[in-house]
Chains A and B, each alone.
Chain A
Amino acid sequence: EAQVTQNPRYLITVTGKKLTVTCSQNMNHEYMSWYRQDPGLGLRQIYYSMNVEVTDKGDVPEGYKVSRKEKRNFPLILESPSPNQTSLYFCASSTTDDNEQFFGPGTRLTVL
């Protein structure tokens, strides 16, 4: 089944404890992206990747890192999480940047 998977789906952590949210797609898509979704603010793009080893900042990259060492995986890294990073995170992928994006199921992160 063609899909985008994210892990974990839910995470409660404390300020300053490094964490990684994994994202994997099995559709051989070149483009992958991370978003956060907050009430009243909609989806905001954190980072995106046009292909392996190519990543760019979205609108809200501060406090996040990403890597794209292989085509299928695009992990989101929070080196030192803070409470303002409490949010619902979505990973998405598509064949190219101007095509339909397929979203993962979301990761609900709470930073205490």
Chain B
Amino acid sequence: GQNIDQPTEMTATEGAIVQINCTYQTSGFNGLFWYQQHAGEAPTFLSYNVLDGLEEKGRFSSFLSRSKGYSYLLLKELQMKDSASYLCAAFYNQGGKLIFGQGTELSVKP
């Protein structure tokens, strides 16, 4: 199988920085997505990493290490509205298959 592992839940304080890790199996791997999902809503796209390194988009950054099968999502200057589930998803072999992790439920507290 192509297991994707990420922590089930995390808690952080408003204004702080939090890093959500994700590991995946490297065989046939093409790229790594991060999505945000608020309770009761559909997932929305945050980032897609294909190459090694850090990509920054405002308060959110995503990192990928292809050799280690590892990615993280970094959220800076946390706001209450960042409380949501963060989904890591790995794209394997050209052909459409996308495997999601179970999601990390982030709670931001005042």
A residues with CB within 8 A of B: 31, 33, 35, 40-45, 48-50, 56, 58-59, 90, 97-106
> Mind listing 30 A-B residue pairs with CB under 8 Å?
A33-B98, A35-B100, A41-B102, A42-B103, A43-B87, A43-B89, A43-B100, A43-B103, A44-B100, A45-B97, A45-B98, A45-B99, A45-B100, A48-B97, A48-B98, A59-B97, A59-B99, A90-B43, A97-B94, A97-B98, A98-B30, A98-B50, A98-B91, A98-B94, A100-B33, A100-B48, A103-B42, A104-B42, A105-B41, A106-B41
A98 to B97, CA, bound (A): 9
Q: Which residues in window 79-110 of B have CB below 8 A to A?
A: 87, 89, 91, 94-103
Chain B residues within an 8 Å CB radius of A33: 96, 98
**CB closest residue in chain A, given B8:** A40
B 32-72 contacts with A by CB, 8 A: 33, 41-45, 48, 50
Interface size on B, residues (CB 8 A): 23
Interchain CB contact (< 8 A) of B96 among A97, A104, A105, A106: A97
B98 to chain A: closest residue by CB? A45
What residues of chain B lie closer than 8 Å to A106, measured between beta carbons?
41-42
B7 near A: Cβ within 8 Å? Answer: no
Q: Is the CB of B100 within 8 A of A97?
A: no
Contact between A103 and B44, CB atoms less than 8 A apart? yes
> For A40, what are the chain B residues with a Cβ–Cβ distance below 8 Å?
102
